[in-house]
């Protein structure tokens, strides 16, 4: 079950964190993975790891916020693999702030990657999927798309947009064999979290790590591999009856 043999999967921002875990998991389960990365050092390192484990992967330079870059990346995927079966819109950036202290530049940066990037990559992938008979799009949203989070004004805005884009794509293409869902994680322990703690709470990293972990009622953060396992299911043929849905993976946050 949940094999992706002979599937072509594009994963944006897979050089680290959740995207990296998804790329590894998909490759381990038979997919040919294309990593679209702005940071090609990270992208190439991710590809090397997958290949050493016996998987099939390539890295392509892509800034998801730039139309020309996205177009070129998908042209290259099509040239090399001749189709796209799965798109994971994972690339994203974070921001801490309220509406008062979020600058216009910060707001535009969040929008350009987290919202426009999903739009551009989905648009490029849908064209190929329609040509070749269908496919699956999975977007990385957040519990911030379902509830209000303190000091996450711009980030929450962007993930709310991801949620509604998910539903729109699902409705528009449900009769054309394209499924679209999103996952909504609570806090996941990635290198970003460690960097945030170092920069924001120097000398108090362990204390604040405990605080961030205990925000989830289950008592810890999620792992990238746990999110990747959910992504694997939602992109597999076993989930062929699922579209237009948002899947929380939140350690109980929404239950309390």
> Which has the closest alpha carbon to 10: 60, 68, 49?
60
- Residue 175 neighbours by CB distance under 10 Å: 7
What's the rounded Cα separation, in Å, for the pair 60 and 133?
A: 24
Within 8 A by CB and 6+ apart from 18, the residues are 90, 140, 185, 188, 190, 224, 227, 228
**CA 106/CA 217 separation, integer angstroms:** 31
* CA-only gyration radius of the chain, Å: 17
With CA atoms as reference, report the closest residue to 233 among 66, 86, 98: 86
Q: Which residues are bridge partners to 152 per DSSP?
A: 97
**Cα(61)–Cα(101) distance, rounded to whole angstroms?**
33
State yes or no: is 247 an active-site residue: no
- CA–CA gap between residue 121 and residue 138 (Å, rounded): 11
Could you tell me the CA-to-CA distances from 49 to 25, 178, 210, 253 in Å, in that order? 12, 30, 31, 33
CA 48/CA 25 separation, integer angstroms: 14
Six-digit token string for 5: 């043999």
Active site residue: 119, 155, 173, 247, which one? Answer: 155
List the helix and strand counts (H, then E) for the chain. Answer: 9, 7
Active site residues: 155
């Amino acid at each position: 079950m949940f094999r992706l043999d002979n599937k072509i999967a594009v994963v944006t921002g897979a050089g680290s964190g959740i995207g990296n875990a998804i790329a590894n998991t998909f490759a381990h389960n038979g997919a040919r993975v294309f990593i679209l990365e702005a940071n090609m050092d990270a992208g190439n390192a991710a590809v090397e790891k997958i290949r050493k484990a016996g998987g099939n992967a390539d890295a392509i330079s892509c800034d998801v916020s730039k139309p020309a870059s996205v177009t070129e990346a998908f042209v290259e995927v099509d040239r090399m693999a001749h189709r796209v079966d799965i798109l994971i819109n994972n690339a994203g950036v974070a921001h801490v702030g309220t509406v008062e202290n979020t600058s216009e530049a910060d707001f535009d940066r969040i929008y350009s990657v987290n919202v426009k990037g999903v739009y551009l990559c989905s648009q490029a992938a849908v064209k190929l999927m329609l040509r070749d008979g269908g496919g699956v799009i999975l977007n990385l949203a957040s519990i911030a798309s379902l509830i209000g989070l303190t000091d996450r004004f711009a980030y929450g805005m962007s993930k709310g947009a991801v949620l509604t884009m998910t539903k729109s794509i699902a409705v528009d293409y449900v009769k054309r064999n394209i499924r679209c869902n999103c996952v909504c994680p609570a806090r996941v322990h990635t290198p970003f979290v460690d960097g945030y703690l170092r920069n924001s709470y120097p000398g108090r990293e362990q204390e604040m790590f405990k605080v961030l972990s205990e925000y989830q009622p289950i008592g810890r953060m999620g792992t990238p591999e746990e999110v990747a396992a959910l992504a694997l299911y939602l992109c597999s043929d076993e989930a062929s009856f699922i579209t237009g849905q948002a899947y929380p993976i939140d350690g109980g946050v929404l239950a309390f």
